[in-house]
Structure formats: structure tokens, C-alpha cells
Structure 1
């Protein structure tokens, strides 16, 4: 895939970012020019140069359930990695430094499925990290294990929750098991209440066979998350 032809003044972020291009292979990457501590702000998505996009492309960033952004800057050349150095916090329009911090010479990268639900152009990841996920097509197509422990934007978290709920509602076995669990919990609460009521009769003057009154243990109710 040939890189996008820039229509903005370059370099757009010369103080913090160096773009390295390899024309013969049609590849680019970005290198940090700064030292920053973990979770600090690396850059902001300002308007301008950013603009809203009418539809997703391989050059846009998803900012919500149905909203997308044209970066219109060299931030577009920040590649994907399964162990990224940056977070794209699209809810606050910030690019944040990852948990390891940044120093000059570090490659700038972010985890594309942290913003993208379904990518316009999936690809095979070649990041070479120990946790490389292989095929990258968006958070929609990833397993729970693949996203475990990964920083995700709010719209991706919500869409994943809806996806899980939909799968459970379509799975008759899961529905039966959920019903059985709910029934068992109701039966347990009823049993505890009955035990409490029975033990309460001893506190009101009814003695056990050994002549000692018995006090019921307090009932503990499970609170649904």
C-alpha cells in the first residue's frame, strides 16, 4: 500500500516527532525526539488541523461509535504495535505516553484496535513483540485474551460489552446456565431467610434439645455488579 500523499505542511510536529520514510518499500515510521514520563501528553488532536471524517478509511482514527477523525498531520505516520509506546485517548483528544515513558529514538506507535472497531483495511502485524496479535482488523474481531490488559477507548469498551451481551443472548446454553445460576441464588437467599426465621424462634424463647438458645448467623446478600 502506498503511503498517503500529505496535503499539510511538513513537518507538522518537528519538536517531538521525526518521520522516517522508505520510498522503495512504501513504508514510514515515526521516532520520538523528546523525553517524557509515563502517561504525560505527547500531542493533542487540535482543530485545525484535525477535521471530522464522513466515513472511515485506513487514514482516519475512530473517535466514537460512528465518528471518525482526519488527523491532517504527521501524527498519521504513527504505526501500530501490539506493545505500543503511545495511547490515542480520543475521548479527550490527546496522545498520551505509554507506561514505559519516552526517550529520543523510541519508535512511536499505538494499538490500532484501541480506537478502531472494524478497520477499513486489515493487515498482518509485523511488530515482532512477544504479544503480537497477528491479524489486525479491529477490536470487533479480537478475543478477550487478545484484549486482556490493553488500554482501550470508551467506545470500544462499550461496543465490546454489547457484543458479549449479544453473543450470550444468542447462545441457548449460556441462557440456560444463567437461568440456573439465578435460580440457585434465589434458592440460597430463601434458605438463608428460612434459617434466620427458624433461628429467630429460639431467640424468642424456644430452646434446642440441649436447652441452649441458638442465634442465626447474619444473612449476606450478593450484590449484582
Structure 2
């Protein structure tokens, strides 16, 4: 199948993506124009330009067991890598930054079997990374050990479970999954940031309310209008600022 000729205005994502067009077939690529931390949202699958595809092609992305997506944009030039810089979360229509973060000049790639169960055009991967999986034909034709450690969309995990039940094989293990651990670490950090911001906002609001009523503290901890001043508790100083939200 010949490469798809763009039918959309180019560039479609000028603020975040630089497309490098090469003359040889299937050798064009995309480079990042932004710096983002791990698991930040790089872009979204929006409708339009995206549209549901009647059947899978090399230019579609799978978003369900029997659903496929035409990208209709320069996102089509994001290539495969077995050590990808992006995560295509087609379940939630997000493109996320991978666990290593992203900086300008990085090639934009994702792991095709994370979305594709059976690919229309299998190919021999030439990513050259230490994690290279060789022939890429979709998650259906890969062993569980080849898939462990990768973000896999919900429909891929469901299809793998169907396959496991049919064949009587072992379930895909999430133990020692670096992506899962990185996500947990990112979530833990985000929770701490939110709790610290919540505490700071509450303290600021209380301070503003006190100043607004012209209440000034005296040297003995009492406000001049008779109200007592309550300082930050040990929970606020230690627990909440440390992010003591309950975690699974």
C-alpha cells in the first residue's frame, strides 16, 4: 500500500510537532517542539479532524476491539518504536508523554502494539533500541514477555485476556512493570503537590479574611479584637504538606 498523501492543511500541529518528510517510502518522521514532563498530555485525538474508520489500514489507530480511527492530521507521521517517547491512550483520546519525559528535538514515537491487535501491514522494526521486538504485527502475535512493561490500551488487554482464556495460557503480569511504577510515582507526586497547594490556599484565604477585618495579632497570640490566632497544626506542617492522602 502506497503512503497516504496528506489531505489536511499542513502543518496541523505547528506548536508541538515538526514533520520531517523524506523521499523514501515510510521514512518520514516527527520531532518534538516542546519540553514536557512524564505523562503530561502532548495532544488529544479531537473530532474533527479525527474520524472513525470503516476498516483498519496502515494509517489508522485502533481505539476499541472493532473500532479504528483516521487521524487526518500530521499525527500520522508519529512512527513506531520499541522504546517510545509517547503513549497513545486511545481509550481516553489522549496522547501522553512517555515515562522519560520529552524535550525539543526528540523523535515522536509510540509502540504500535499498544493500540493495534492485528496490523494491516506488519513490518520488521529497525528502531535499533535494546528493547527492539523485531517483527511488529500487532499485540495478537506477540508473547506476554514481549508486551510486559508497555502501556497497553484497554481493548488490547481485553483481547489478550480473551486469547489467554481460549489458549489456556498465563495472564499478562504487571509485576515489576516500569510503566506502572512510573505512573504510581507520578500520581504520588501529583497528590503531594495538590495537597500542598490546597493547604497554601486555605492558609492564604484565612490570612486574607483576617486582614480584611483589620484584625492584627498582639504579642500574646490574641487579635486586638479579642479573637485568638491559630497557627498551622503539626498535621498541616507535616502530614498535609507531605501528601498524606490515602493510596491504594
Report TM bin, short chain: 0.7 to 0.9
Contact 2:3–2:25 (Cα < 8 Å) also in 1:
no
Note if 1:152 corresponds to 2:152.
yes
After TM superposition, list the pairs within 5 Å mapping 1:35-114 onto structure 2. Answer: 35-114=35-114
Runs of 5+ in structure 1 lacking a partner? 175-225
Moved over 4 A (4+): none
1 CA distance for matches of 2:163 and 2:26? 36
TM-score (norm 2): 0.67
After TM superposition, list the pairs within 5 Å mapping 1:197-208 onto structure 2. Answer: none
Runs of 5+ in structure 2 lacking a partner? 171-248
Contact 1:78–1:110 (Cα < 8 Å) also in 2:
yes
Deviation at 1:3? Answer: 2.5
Note if 1:165 corresponds to 2:165.
yes
Deviation at 1:24? Answer: 4.0
1 CA distance for matches of 2:64 and 2:11? 28
Q: How many residues align?
A: 170
C-alpha offsets along residues 150-173 of structure 1, whole Å, 9 cap, x if unaligned?
1100000010011011001xx9xx
2:120 alignment partner in structure 1: 120
SS in 1 for 2:64: coil
State the structure with more CA Rg. Answer: 1
C-alpha offsets along residues 108-140 of structure 1, whole Å, 9 cap, x if unaligned?
000000000000000000000001000000000
2:132 alignment partner in structure 1: 132
After TM superposition, list the pairs within 5 Å mapping 1:179-198 onto structure 2. Answer: none
